[in-house]
Amino acid sequence: MRGNIGYLGLIIFGLLAFTISTEAQLQMNFYAKSCPKAEKIVSDFVDEHIHNAPSLAASFIRMHFHDCFVRGCDASVLLNSSSTAGEQPEKAAVPNRTLRGFDFIDRVKSLVEDECPGVVSCADIITLVTRDSIVATGGPFWQVPTGRRDGVISRSSEATAIPAPFANITTLQTLFANQGLDLKDLVLLSGAHTIGIAHCSTISDRLYNFSGTGQADPNLDSEYADNLKARKCRSPDDTTTKIEMDPGSRKTFDLSYYSLLLKRRGLFESDAALTTNSVTLSFINQILKGSLQDFFAEFANSMEKMGRINVKTGSDGEIRKHCAVVN
């Protein structure tokens, strides 16, 4: 028995050492020797161009989120074709059809490739562009350890791992837990809805036919619902009109999103769901009682945590020459 315990201990120690070794490959300044100018090239490009289209900051954080929730943060969302015959790539899945900013990522990748061919991954570029664009438009800063490698598999069918705007709290908790994220991360990362826009199609049922009732969702403030129907989403068939997720404050990374939740004015059912659980509701109240700097710090922690989801490092995956195609 003692021998078996010793053998088991060696196995556990070996697995732990492997885990630590793999995690260690994702580190700050990973490209310090292999491509020392890489991160500056990214930040300089973002600083120069993001102000021409500041709404892209919200698009990038959404792209990063959608990428990490499917196969980890491996840039699989950028691929133009599927690895599986007869199937579309992630990019073609319903949650990803309104993603923007692919050309911007390609331009950054091209500049980095000119400096250091075959060194910097598209996965790291997404992560860095996301952080830098949020910072450049007045949002929080967070650390971005690098060393991710790019995936070679992309399947639209796997996009079901991305939380839908109509998800309830049970589904949200499950989908986040599947990625190693907890309820606090759920509340904090949802705070990204303080910037950006959505399409009327994402709330059509909530406004016009909630749960097949032919009425608006009773959990949505009636005045807000009436205003949306009168001024924005005037038809349940509207698929083109864009609406603010944080009305009056969509260009500012602030706490107003959480204030709206308590007024029953969260745009999505998934937003409103955060107030239906005592734990998530408590986190919302804590955020509102704290300062904006406190929120920025907590948000930063969750973003860094998300950026580590199932990353490929070492010899796993590849460094794509072009982000839209595998080598």
Q: Which residues are annotated as a binding site?
A: 67, 70, 72, 74, 76, 90, 163, 193-194, 246, 254
**221 contacts: CB under 8 Å, gap ≥ 6:** 263, 264, 265
How far is the CA of 10 from the CAs of 14, 24, 144, in angstroms? Answer: 6, 21, 33
* Length of the chain (residues): 327
Maximum alpha-carbon separation in the chain: 75
Contacts of 21 (CB under 8 A, 6+ apart): none
Binding region for Ca(2+): 67, 70, 72, 74, 76, 90, 194, 246, 254
Q: 49, 51, 64, 66: which one is catalytic?
A: 66
Does residue 66 carry a catalytic annotation? yes
Pairing of strands 242-244, 197-199: antiparallel
Say how far apart CA 318 and CA 177 lie, in whole Å: 27
Which H helix or E strand runs over 123? helix 122-136
Annotated binding-site positions for substrate: 163
Radius of gyration of the chain from its Cα atoms, rounded to whole angstroms: 21
Neighbours of 79 (CB within 10 A): 24
Q: So which residues are the catalytic ones?
A: 66
